[in-house]
C-alpha cells in the first residue's frame, strides 16, 4: 500500500513529498491531501517545496476515476483545478522539484509553481491527453498559455512528451540539475526564496498570475458544466 503525501515543516520551509509507491496518480483523495498540506504550510507561513519519489513526479489524474462516470470525473477535475489555483495564489514561494516522469496533471502542478527544478534523468514530461483518448481541459490550456513558450504551447495538439532539456526549452521547467547536485541546488534556492520581501512577493505574484487565475476559474466553470451535462 502506498504512502500518503508527506509534509515536514521546519525553519520556515514545508517539504511536501508525493509518494503513493506507484505513479502518484492524482485522485480526488490525493488532491485533497495536497490541499490539506498546503493549508498547513500556509498556516505556518512557510515556503513550499513539492517533490515526487525517485523516477516519478506524477502520472497525472487517476485514469480509473474517468471511467467511474461524470460525477466522479467532475469531482476530480474540480479538485485538480482548485489545487492549481491554490498554487498560483499561494502567499509564499512554491518550488517544484521534478524527480521523474510528469504527465498531464503532474505537469499542471509544476506549471503552477513559482520555481521549477528538474533532476536530470531519462524522464518524459508533458501533456499527452490526445495520445490517451482525452481532450485537454480548458483550464489546463489556460495554465499552459500562461507558462509555456509559444513553441511549447503549439505542441499541445500532438500529445508529445519531452526529455528534461526539451521540457526546459518549452517552459515546463526552469532549471535542470544533476542528481548529485540536487540537494545543494534545492537548498540554495530555498534560502534565496526565504530572503525575499514577502509582502512584495505576494503583491507581485498576484499581479503576475491574476489573469491566469481568473481565466482558469472561468474555464473550470464552463468545463464542468459540459462534463456534467
Listed in sequence order, the residues at least 6 apart from 77 whose beta carbon sits closer than 8 Å to its beta carbon are: 61, 137, 139, 220, 223, 224, 227
pLDDT digit string (tens) for 120-174?
999 999 999 999 998 898 899 999 999 999 999 999 999 999 999 999 999 999 9
Listed in sequence order, the residues at least 6 apart from 3 whose beta carbon sits closer than 8 Å to its beta carbon are: 19, 20, 21
Q: How far apart are CA 228 and CA 75, in angstroms?
A: 10
Q: How far apart are CA 93 and CA 114, in angstroms?
A: 6
Q: Are 94 and 114 in contact (CB under 8 A)?
A: yes
Q: How far apart are CA 64 and CA 29, in angstroms?
A: 13
Quick check: 2 pLDDT over 90? Answer: no
Q: What are the structural domain ranges in the chain?
A: 6-180+193-228
pLDDT digit string (tens) for 6-65?
999 999 999 999 999 999 999 999 999 999 999 999 999 999 999 999 999 999 999 999
> In degrees, to the nearest 5, what angle opens at C-alpha 58 toward C-alphas 207 and 30?
80
pTM (predicted TM-score): 0.94
The total of other beta-carbon atoms located within 10 Å of residue 123's CB is: 20
DSSP string for residues in 63-99:
HHHHTT-HHHHHHHHHHHHHHHHHHHH-SS-EEEEE-
CATH fold, domain 6-180+193-228, is: 2-enoyl-CoA Hydratase; Chain A, domain 1 (3.90.226)
pLDDT digit string (tens) for 55-106?
999 999 999 998 898 889 889 999 999 999 999 999 999 999 999 999 999 9
Quick check: 115 pLDDT over 50? Answer: yes
Quick check: 1 pLDDT over 60? Answer: no
Closest to 147 (Cα-Cα) out of 111, 106, 110: 111
pLDDT digit string (tens) for 180-212?
999 999 999 999 999 999 999 999 999 999 999
Amino acid at each position: 500500500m502506498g504512502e500518503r503525501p508527506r509534509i515536514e515543516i521546519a525553519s520556515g520551509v514545508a517539504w511536501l513529498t508525493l509518494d503513493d509507491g506507484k505513479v502518484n496518480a492524482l485522485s480526488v483523495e490525493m488532491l485533497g491531501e495536497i490541499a490539506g498540506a498546503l493549508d498547513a504550510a500556509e498556516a505556518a507561513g512557510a515556503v513550499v517545496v513539492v517533490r515526487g519519489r525517485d523516477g516519478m513526479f506524477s502520472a497525472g489524474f487517476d485514469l480509473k476515476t474517468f471511467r467511474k462516470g461524470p460525477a466522479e470525473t467532475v469531482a476530480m477535475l474540480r479538485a485538480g483545478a482548485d489545487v492549481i489555483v491554490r498554487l498560483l495564489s499561494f502567499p509564499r514561494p512554491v518550488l517544484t522539484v521534478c524527480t521523474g516522469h510528469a504527465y498531464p496533471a503532474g505537469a499542471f502542478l509544476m506549471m503552477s509553481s513559482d520555481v521549477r527544478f528538474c533532476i536530470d534523468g531519462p524522464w518524459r514530461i508533458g501533456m499527452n491527453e490526445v495520445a490517451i483518448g482525452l481532450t485537454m481541459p480548458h483550464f489546463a490550456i489556460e495554465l499552459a498559455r500562461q507558462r509555456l513558450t509559444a513553441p511549447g504551447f503549439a505542441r499541445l495538439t500532438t500529445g508529445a512528451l519531452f526529455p528534461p532539456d526539451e521540457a526546459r526549452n518549452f517552459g515546463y521547467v526552469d532549471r535542470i540539475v544533476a542528481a548529485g547536485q540536487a540537494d545543494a541546488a534545492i537548498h540554495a534556492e530555498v534560502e534565496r526564496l526565504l530572503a525575499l520581501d514577502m509582502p512584495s512577493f505576494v503583491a507581485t505574484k498576484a499581479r503576475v498570475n491574476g489573469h491566469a487565475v481568473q481565466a482558469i476559474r472561468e474555464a473550470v466553470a464552463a468545463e464542468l458544466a459540459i462534463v456534467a451535462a
